[in-house]
Amino acid sequence: MTVYRFDGSFEGFLCAVDYCLDIGDTQPEFIRDGDVQAVGLFAGEVREVATLRECALTLRKRFVEAASQEAFATARYAFHSHKTGIELLLWRYLTLGLQVGRRLCLMLAEEPVHSVNRIARQVSHEAHKYKGFVRFREVEAGFLYAQIEPEADILPFIAPHFVGRVGDRPWMIHDLRRNQAALYDLTSWRLIRDVELSAEPALSATEHDYAALWQRYFQRHAIAERHNPKLQQQHVPLRYRKHLTEFIIP
């Protein structure tokens, strides 16, 4: 059994899948670059697959034409869950899609479609939540900096949203769990890997004031007669609160 090593990106994964389809390997295994543990003791040969944009785009086109745009978007969401075994699940999903075509999206109650849909939904939920939960702090010279710790790798899904939203300032959204960040420089955004914070960023002079105003507003906005912390926790689970300005006690 051959193990295919790709660079960890979705494009890289598509290239690996494309390569397997090309050479007719029907029992591939995949590992991400730098993921040492994933190579089992009895694993066969490890083959490196280079990431070529065109290659990924070709497979994308083929899959979209066979199955659908939505099915491809689902696969992309699911991939970014970074769950163990997601590559094999998606391999089955993609090859099934190429086989059965449009029927893929009707197979909701069957595997692997059911699992892929479920995982994709989780990732998409989390991405949507973070469109609301990112909290920028203004650091020197008007630069905006936010820290997040999401379960899934959601930066590629939320960055375009913030490009459209905060287009008048440079900003960075830093995923502390994966040491990577989306950086916007007033023209476009890009993903940077291996980002580490050497020191807490120096905040701008007014940052503290606005944060304090927001905290007061937030406290006062609750209606005492309707007090319902359980419902609140359902919507804002505790794990999100660490980076939410309004939940940080000054």
Reported as type and span, the H/E element at residue 92 is helix 86-100
Cα-based distances in Å from 202 to 183, 197, 213:
18, 12, 20
At 121, list the tokens.
């939904």
Closer residue to other proteins in complex, CB, 43/231:
231
Closer residue to other proteins in complex, CB, 36/223:
223
Closer residue to other proteins in complex, CB, 23/222:
222
Closer residue to other proteins in complex, CB, 196/235:
235
Q: How far is residue 9's CA from residue 32's CA, in Å, rounded to a whole number?
A: 8
Shortest Cβ 145–other proteins spacing (Å): 11
Shortest Cβ 147–other proteins spacing (Å): 12
Shortest Cβ 204–other proteins spacing (Å): 11
Long-range contacts of 66-72 (CB under 8 A, 24+ apart): 66/97, 66/98, 66/101, 66/102, 67/97, 67/98, 67/100, 67/101, 67/102, 67/104, 67/105, 68/102, 68/104, 68/105, 70/105, 71/97, 71/104, 71/105
Shortest Cβ 86–other proteins spacing (Å): 19
Shortest Cβ 14–other proteins spacing (Å): 23
Closer residue to other proteins in complex, CB, 41/108:
108
Enumerate binding residues for other proteins (CB under 8 A).
103, 105-110, 114, 121, 124-125, 128, 131-138, 144, 146, 161-169, 186, 206, 210-214, 216-218, 220-232, 234-236, 244-246
